[in-house]
Amino acid sequence: MQSTDARLKSFNHRTRSWPYSEDSYKANPGTLADAGFYWKPALSSQDNVMCFLCGKSLDGWTDTDDPYDEHLSHSRTCGWAIVKSIPLVDDGELPFRWDDEDELPKGERMTKARIQTFGNWWPHENKGWYGTVKR
């Protein structure tokens, strides 16, 4: 589920379909997959999605719920949610404090967020490699 395409494909199930209209809901398969979620329906929750990185499950979507906002508000430390919220800051939808060095690109929080997006998949972190996340 690391790729957006794989997450998007999770919404195309043979026997079930995503319960909401793509035209009237902000939370549709495309935006949910881009925000890091794949569809993991349950009997009691047909709209349940899960983040591929932090494992956060969310359900009970309304037509005005924004997948990026919801992901970040329910999982403040998820690297994917943090990194994907940057365009929302650029568009003025989220406030940004330029005086908070931790939020700047080389700040500790943003560095950790970028590293976290690799999960356990960065193959060059072993001894003898030059492309470690610290270099």
3-state secondary structure of 72: helix
Q: Does residue 68 carry a pLDDT above 80?
A: yes
* Amino acid (1-letter code) at residue 73: S
Share of the chain above pLDDT 90, in %: 44
The closest alpha carbon to 28, from 11, 45, 42, 6, belongs to: 11
pLDDT at 31 over 90: yes
CA-based nearest residue to 105, from 83, 90, 128, 75: 83
Instruction: Note whether residue 132 is domain-resident.
Output: no
Query: Which domain, by its residues, includes 101?
Result: 4-116
| Low-confidence winner among 21-30, 60-69, 77-86 (lowest mean pLDDT) | 77-86
- Report residue 91's pLDDT band, with 50, 70 and 90 as the boundaries: low
Using DSSP, state whether 59 is helix, strand or coil: coil
Whether 133 maps to a domain, the answer reads no
Residue 98 belongs to some domain of the structure? yes
- For residue 19, being part of any structural domain is answered with yes
The number of folded domains in the chain is: 1
Identify the residue with better confidence: 10 or 109.
10
Kindly state whether residue 130 falls inside one of the protein's structural domains. Answer: no
Q: How far, in Å, CA of 6 to CA of 3, rounded?
A: 5
CATH number for 74:
1.10.1170.10
